[in-house]
Amino acid sequence: KTTLAKVLERHLTSKGHTVKYITLAHWKRTEFPDLLHNNDAFDAFWKNEIQCTWSECTKSKDPIFILIDEAQVLYNGNGSLDFWTQIKYFTDHPKNGLHVLLLSMYESQNAGSAILNDSYTPIDFINPMGLDELHLNENEFKDLTSKFIEYIDKEEDTFIMPDDMLKSVYSSTRRHPHLRMRVFDWMTNWKPTEVVVDTIFLKMAYDMVDDDSTFVVDTKTAEMQEALRRLMHSGLVTYSGRSWLQFAAPVVQIIMGQHLYAPSLTLESDVSFEAFLQTSIKHMRPSELHKSLSYGIDSQLLERAWQKAWLMAASTAIPSGHTISPDVGRIFGSSGFLDFYINGGLKWEVELMQEGRRMGDHVDCFRSTGRPNSKKLDPNVWYALYADDYSTMTIIRHGKDEMLLTLRGDDPQLFPKNR
C-alpha cells in the first residue's frame, strides 16, 4: 500500500496536480500524545510532517489529492476527532477538487464504534478497495519475477525458477505482489502455548474453512475479538467480505495446518504409501470423532471433520524428515480435489472424500446394501466403512481382500496423554 501511495504521488505530481502524502507511521506518542483525541494536536502533527494542516488541506480552493498512509492508526480515536466527521461529510457531500485516499493494513469492521461515536451512523465508503485490487495478473507476475531473478543473478549465483515452481508461487500467494515476510516470520517463530486463545481461534478457523478458503468464527467474547485483532494486525488473517474471513493466502493456510497439527510421533524408517495409509487410519482417535460438532443435516460427520481427524493421525505416521501439507489442491491447480500432500521426495497425494459429497459419479459403485461393487472399484480408491462407534474401519479395495483396521489413537500406551 505504501508503494501504491508513492506511485500515485509521483504520477499525480507529474500531471501537475497538488498532492499531499502523509503517513501515520511517523507518529510518536511522546511528541503528540493526544493526536487521536485532540484536533489541535492532530493538525499540529500534519503541520510538522507536511507543512500543511488537515484543515488547511481540505479547505484548499485548488484541486488537491490527499494520500493518508497507515490510516488504521486513526481507527481507535473513538469519534473524538473532527477528522472522521469531516470524512463522513465529504463522503455524503462530495467537494469538487478534493480527493482523499486512506491506505490501511486492515479495515474496521465496526465503523460505528471504532471510528465514530454512537450518535453517528457508520461511514459507507463509495469506492473501497481491498487486496483483490492489488493482485497481479499473470503477465505482471512474470515481469516481476524476471526482474527479481535478474537482481538475484547480479548479487549471487545463478537463480533458476522452473515453470512449475512459478505456477505454484503464483497460485499459493493468491497473486499478491508481496506477502510480507513478517507474516512468515510470525508463523516461523509462533509458540502456540504462549497465547492459548490465538490457537483456539486459529483451530476453529482452520476447521471451518470452506472450499473458497473463507470462514466465519464467533467473536462475541472479548478474548476472541482480541485474538482476531492480533491475527489481523499480523497480516495472517484478512477479511474476504463484510463478515467472512480468510487466511492471507493459500500458502499461509497450508503452513498454519502444519503448525496446528504438527507431528508428535513419526515413523523412523521409510514406509510404503500403502503402509503409511494403513498406519494413519490406525492412529485416528475415535474420541475425537465422537465429540466433533461438525455434523451435517443427515447426522453424518462432515468431510472437514474427517479431514481434521485424519490429518492429526497422519502427522504421527509420516516417516521422519517429511511433512504433510493440507489444503494443497489450489496450488496444484486441482481445487477441491486434492486435500493433502506429503513432500520430502515421497510425492504422496491424498484426497479424502465423504460419501454423499461430490460422489455423483461414484454412486453406481455401490450395491443396494451400501457396500462397494467389486466390479466397479477404482484401483486408486480406498473405500472405508466405519463402525457406529468409530472403533474400526473396514477397507475395501480393488483386487484386494477386505481389511479390518482398529483405530488405536486413544490408546495411552501408544500415544502421549497430551497429544
What pTM value is reported for the model? 0.51
Q: Which amino acid is at 32?
A: F
In tens, the pLDDT along 337-352 reads 667 888 767 888 888 8
CA separation for the pair 322, 50 (Å, rounded): 54
* Whole-number pLDDT of residue 14: 96
Tell me the chain's radius of gyration from C-alpha atoms.
27
C-alpha dihedral, 29 to 34 to 39 to 42, nearest 10°:
0
Residue 67, pLDDT score: 97
Residues in the chain, pLDDT under 70:
76-80, 106-122, 126, 131-132, 155-159, 177-195, 211, 241-242, 258, 260-271, 293-300, 329-338, 344, 355-376, 413-419
Express each pLDDT in 51-109 by its tens digit.
999 999 999 999 999 999 998 888 766 556 789 888 888 888 888 899 999 988 765 54
What is residue 270's predicted lDDT score, i.e. its pLDDT? 58
> What is the chain's mean pLDDT, rounded?
77
How many other CB atoms are found less than 10 A from the CB of residue 62? Answer: 7
User: Which pairs count as long-range contacts for 294-298, CB under 8 Å and 24+ apart, including other chains?
Assistant: 294/207, 296/356, 298/356
Residue 188 has what pLDDT?
A: 64
Q: How far apart are CA 307 and CA 250, in angstroms?
A: 17
Query: What is the per-residue pLDDT for 99?
Result: 94
> What is the Cα–Cα distance from 173 to 170, expressed in whole angstroms?
6
Q: What is the pLDDT of residue 333?
A: 63
Pairwise CA distance, residues 134 & 280, whole Å: 41
Q: What pLDDT is attached to residue 415?
A: 65
For residue 393, give Cα distances in angstroms to 284, 286, 404.
10, 11, 6
Assign residue 363 a region: left if phi > 0, alpha if psi is -120 to 50, beta otherwise? alpha
Q: What is the pLDDT of residue 183?
A: 60
